[in-house]
Amino acid sequence: MSSSNRSVYFLESNDAVAEVLDFVTILGILMLAFSMIALAGYPILRSAQETRYIENTRQSFVVMADNLNKIALGQSPSQSVELKIYSGTLSTSMDSSINITAKNSTGQMITLVDQNMGNIQNSIGDTVVAYEGTGVWVKYPNGHIFNAYRPLITNRSNILVIPIVVISGNTSVGGTGIARLKADGTPGITSFSNVTNLTMTISGNYVSGWKDYLGDIMDLDDTPDSKLVGHLNSTKLDVYILRTAMYTEIE
């Protein structure tokens, strides 16, 4: 039998057909297995990566808060901080405000402060990490807000100290890489002696986090998540407002 006839015979034989079918079947099983591993593993890997990015951003915002609060406390006129962006946006916003009223020593209702605060925020997917009111807040996609760095509001021995940082600046940076935030400002102090029936109202995107924090300091009304109303009914309360107009630039 010639070599060409043997080749035709081999290709037409049952053994050859079986070997080809076995090879195709094994190849198909392998491809299906690899596809299933990729489909199942990719979301897990992506979720783990995003969790790491959020934690890194939280830590960097805590460091940033330490530095920016030096401006708010009059310890430094300016600060410069580097922040990592993970396919998100680092920006400033003016979507929060604070209002404080109280009765003075003659029983007259007065306004201690009525001010937009603003914030600095960095988005990682649907999670946002923000610096607002000298504190750091992490807002998750489900709406839960975690206080990663406590604001500097203190109430001791009927002395209430409230630092208010007013963020200004309309720059923003997006993408992936290193951004630099520069900030400067000078705090001014306003004091109010012997006030009573103090009411604090905060509105913005991180109110539920503020409620968790201020719930240990004052009595809170039952209000929607977009608004906080708290009360201090102590007599002879001395209040010190440290207001800092902080100009920021992101590059």
Q: How confident is the model at residue 152 (pLDDT cuts 50, 70, 90)?
A: very high
Quote the tokens at residue 209: 């986090």
* Mean pLDDT of the 97-118 span: 95
Average pLDDT taken over every residue of the chain: 86
pTM above 0.95, yes or no: no
- Angle at the Cα of 75 (from 70 to 81), degrees rounded to 5? 40
CA end-to-end distance (rounded Å), the chain: 81
Cα separations in angstroms, 79 against 73, 134, 153, 184, 212:
13, 14, 21, 6, 29
- Lookup: tokens for 246: 């902080």
Write out pLDDT tens, residues 186-227.
999 999 999 999 999 999 999 999 999 998 888 999 888 789
Instruction: Give 143's DSSP letter.
Output: S
Highest mean pLDDT among 14-18, 32-36, 38-42, 247-251: 247-251
Cβ atoms of 118 and 128 closer than 8 Å: no
Q: Indicate the pLDDT class of residue 23, thresholds 50, 70 and 90.
A: low
Q: What percent of the chain clears pLDDT 70, i.e. is strictly above it?
A: 83
Q: Note the pLDDT tens digit of each residue in 60-73.
A: 999 999 999 999 99
Rounded to 5 degrees, φ, ψ at 78 are: -155, 160
Distance CA 92, CA 179 (A): 13
Report the distance separating Cα 39 and Cα 28, nearest Å.
16
Q: Of 39-43, 93-97, 207-211, 222-226, give the lowest mean pLDDT range.
A: 39-43
Q: What residue segments make up the domains of the chain, in order of their start?
A: 46-250
10 pLDDT band (50/70/90 cuts)? very low
Half-sphere exposure of residue 207, counting CA atoms within 13 Å on the CB side? Answer: 21
Q: Would you say 213 and 135 are in contact if contact means Cβ atoms under 8 Å apart?
A: yes
**C-alpha–C-alpha distance, residues 73 and 243, integer Å:** 9
